[in-house]
Amino acid sequence: MKPMAAPDGLPPLRDVIERHGLAAKKSLGQNFLLDLNLTRKIARAAGDIANSTIVEIGPGPGGLTRALLMEGAKQVIAIERDDRCLAALDDIAARYPGRLQVHSGDALEIDWTKLIAGAHPVTIAANLPYNIASLLLVGWLETEPWPPWFDRMVLMFQREVAERIIAAPHTKAYGRLSVLAQWRTQAKIVINLPPEAFTPPPKVASAVVDFRPVPTPDPPCRVSTLARVTAAAFGQRRKMLRSSLKQLTPMAELLLREAGIAPERRAEDLSVEEFVRLAAIFDRGDWERP
């Protein structure tokens, strides 16, 4: 009996995986979403994409890719490191002529502005490979100049990482990722997914986070300095800031007092605005003078 086609006229994803021998590789952080109802829900979370170029990382057998195209994406640019998946993606490209570009390569080495040259608006939408998800996100959040080359990001992470992104001060999940994400974007969890939604099921739940870039983050500071300040502060998060920030400057207490922050406080107690103020004052340099 011939398998029933999916709504887009292509074979069901389970059949695609079997035909191309696409067992998920742990080394590539792969966990495939096979339910097109779920992938279409994620695609719809990106809003009206009819005039958008979508950048997708790690499409695998193409579950989300197909959903994005079914939901009307003008163009999808997919980055896939696993050569085994390319034939399956070629089948999707043939089904949607001119709307899917597939690039074989490592997403950590892509020149994004060159890749999307001339495209606007751009949304990054992806079930990110879990082993590089945080690295990719930090790279996009540290994009210079800002506003960035993308207009929106709709990204899936392990639930733990998603909770770190949106975490508030005074919580264990609050950290460097929280500060950077919340300074430069408005971020919120929009979909939660249990392990059994994936093949193979991961050991943890997952969540989709919607990021809307803030055109002019306020207060302003250099993102590279904010990265240094938060690395020092959260690198020894149980220590008082007057101790942890000594990795940044031997005059940590003077810097904190200039910023109006009690030296006895700890990293998880500071707001995003206070971290940004610290970074801006550190760059200013005049606080070091007698």
Binding residues for S-adenosyl-L-methionine: 31, 33, 58, 80, 106, 127
Cα–Cα distance between 209 and 159 in angstroms, integer?
A: 10
Write the CB contacts of 240 (distance below 8 Å, at least 6 apart in sequence): 263, 264, 265, 266
Phi and psi (nearest 5°) for 156? -100, 135
Other beta carbons within 10 Å of 178: 24
- Determine the straight-line distance between the first and last CA of the chain, rounded to whole angstroms: 84
Q: How far is CA 92 from CA 64, 65, 80, 119, 192, in A?
A: 11, 8, 14, 21, 27
Task: Please give the annotated binding residues, written as ranges.
Answer: 31, 33, 58, 80, 106, 127
As a whole number of angstroms, the distance between CA 92 and CA 8 comes to 10
Q: Would you tell me the crossing angle of helices 63-70 and 36-45 to the nearest 10 degrees?
A: 60
Query: 236, 219, 260, 28: which is closest to 130 by C-alpha?
Result: 28
